[in-house]
Structure formats: structure tokens, C-alpha cells
Structure 1
Amino acid sequence: MKKTTQTTRMNGQRVRIVTTTGPAGTRVQVTEAEPKEWELQAAQVRALRAMPEYGKRFLLAGDQNSAKRGPRAQMEAIAAGMTPGEADMRIYIAGGQLRMIENKVGRGRLSPAQVDRHAALARLGFTVEVLRSVTTEDAARQAVALVRGWLAGNDNQSGQGQSRCSSTASA
């Protein structure tokens, strides 16, 4: 039995095509493709910026360190301080706290650079949360809930310096 998988666009939508060839013939199955990681992050940014606390109690900044670059652009990015493995989004919370969000689609794994970078950040006392989603809606919901929790924790700790460190995966 031979199985091939490809992701493409059909009628403007990303789809996953799985073709299975065996003794009984060929079977083609077309399903909706999982979103790209940047799409999860974009949905989170929209949802977080829509929160009434945005700009008053927290701000955000995003990165796309995994973006494909040519050799010159890669050299320029590294020279300018882009760091492999950096979290996708930084959340700046009133009182001088920094929290970070790393996104993964479904069961996507952290790259070796991400594992190393997140561990280095943890040693310095910074929080990196890994959120796993297969829809943009779920990614946005998880990010809003996470930030609301951080803000509530900040209210309870008011002014206690750096935040606790953890790295978790939400289902």
C-alpha cells in the first residue's frame, strides 16, 4: 500500500489531499488543512488587541523567527539580533513583567533551537507557554484566557518583580 499526502489550495481554501494506492485501487481523501502557525498567531493578536485591557494593562509584540529568508536576509537578521528559538509572541504586563507564548499547530514539536532557548529563558525566570491549536478560533481563545489569567495573577501579586517560570502545553 502506498500513501502520499500533499497540501494545496482548492477554491481558495487550503486542503490536504491523501492518496492511498493498494490492491483495492486508489482512494483519494480531501480534508481541510490545519492552519499555518502564523495564522494562529494572527488570530491571537487580533483577539488580544480587542481586549479592553490592551494598551492599559498589557502590550504585545510578535516574532516570526522561522520565516524563510535568503542567505543575505538570514545574515542580516542574525546580525541584528534575531535569535533562533525565540517565542512567537511577547506579552508585556504592567509592573515590568514579561511573558511569552509559543504556538504549535496540533502535535507540532518544538525545534531543538526552541527547546534550548525556552530552557535558557526559564533559567532566567521567564515564562514561556506553549499553546497547541488546530483552529484559529481555539488559538485566540487560549491566548485570551492565558493573558486574562496572567493579568489576574498580576493583580494578586502587584509589584513582586519577575514572574514565575513555566512551560506548559494546552490541549
Structure 2
Amino acid sequence: MARNRTRAPSSTTTTATKTQTVRINGARVKITTKAGKVTTKPALPLEWELQAAQVASLRRLPQYQRQFLLAGDMNASKRGPRAQAQAIATGMTSGEPDLRIYGEYGRLLMIENKVGQGRLSPAQKDRHAALQRLGYTVLVIRATTTTEAAEQAVTAVLEWLAQEKGKAA
């Protein structure tokens, strides 16, 4: 017959902070527990949400489809082994920037999005450096809200277009 084993209460209290992100009423919320106290606050947006806001704002610009076009990638999306193999075989490349802005005269601006102080992966660092060696511009936009990301992208593209006009003249 097995003996009942119970552990005596620990005399040391853990004050480790634990966080988790959950959905409450459809909104992403970050729950933090520290020393028995629970706090909640809105979670930072996901990278794809930043990109979607940028795309929507850029498509609303009057210059869109006249002076520039755009295309986006979802390199970080989840794929099964078969889909991953197909993506790699057809040219999907790790570290490729999230958005490409095609301008007049063959110019290309690439935008990589990071939430807050998110770090570039080693593949992104390598790919961005390789693209810059070939003469392309890669811009990293850091934002904590979708509005901030969209505003930064619009400003960057409008400044880039203004530089483009100066080079064409």
C-alpha cells in the first residue's frame, strides 16, 4: 500500500514574475502575476497586425498605384513540414523583409517590422545586410501600436518618394 506523501509548505516565498497573454472578450490581454498580485493590461500587437495597418494606410495614399506599389510576405507564418518544404523550394527565404515598396525607375524600399524592442533574428540580420550590400534600402520600423506603425510607414514611404523625385530630375 502506498504511503501518502505530502510536501511540507516551503519556508521561502517565490516572488517570480509570471506573465501570459490571453484573449478576454476578443482582445489580447497580458496578465502579470507577481508576489500574489495580478495585473492586466492590453497586450502589444502582433507583427502581422502592424503590417496590416501599414498596408491599409499605404493603399489609401493618392500615390499608391501611381508612384509606388507594394507587396508583403508572411515568412514567419506557421506551416507544416510539407508546406514549409514547398515554400523553400519556391523561393521563400528566411529573413526577407515584411514589405516591399516598388517605386519608379526600378527603386525598391523594404520594410521590416518589430514590435517594441523586438530583435532581428540572425537570418534577418544576414539577409538585410546582403540586401544592403546590393544597394537596396531596408528600414526597420519599431512600433508598439498599429497606429504608430502605420504612421511610421507612411512617413518613410513619402520621404522615400520625395528622394526618388529628386534623383529622377
TM-score normalized with structure 2 length: 0.90
Q: Tell me how far 1:12 sits from its aligned partner.
A: 1.0
The structure richer in strand per residue is: 1
Residues 90-109 of structure 1 mapped to structure 2, 5 A cutoff? 90-109=100-119
Q: Percent identity?
A: 59
Query: 52, 57, 73: which is aligned to 1:63?
Result: 73
TM-superposed CA distance for 1:47, in Å, is: 0.2
Structure number with bigger Rg = 2
Runs of 4+ in 1 over 2 A off after TM superposition: none
- Distance in 1 separating the partners of 2:115 and 2:76: 14
Q: Distance in 2 between matches of 1:12 and 1:91?
A: 32
Among residues 127, 147, 160, which one is paired with 1:137 in the alignment? 147
State the one-letter code of the partner of 2:86. E
Report how many residues are paired: 155
Aligned to 2:93: 83
Report the Cα distance in structure 2 between the residues aligned to 1:127 and 1:32, rounded to whole angstroms: 33
- Aligned with residue 10 of structure 1, among 4, 21, 24: 24
Counterpart Cα distance in 2 of 1:31 and 1:3? 15
Alignment RMSD (CA, Å): 0.8
2:33 is matched by which residue type in structure 1? Answer: T
Q: Which residue of 2 aligns with 1:162?
A: none
Find the counterpart in structure 2 of residue 38 from structure 1: 48
Matched, 1:19 2:33: yes
In the alignment, which residue of structure 1 is the partner of 2:127? 117
Q: Which amino acid aligns with 1:84?
A: S
Query: Paired residue for 2:9?
Result: none
CA distance in 1, matches of 2:44, 2:17: 19
Structure 1 alignment gaps of length 5 or more = 160-171
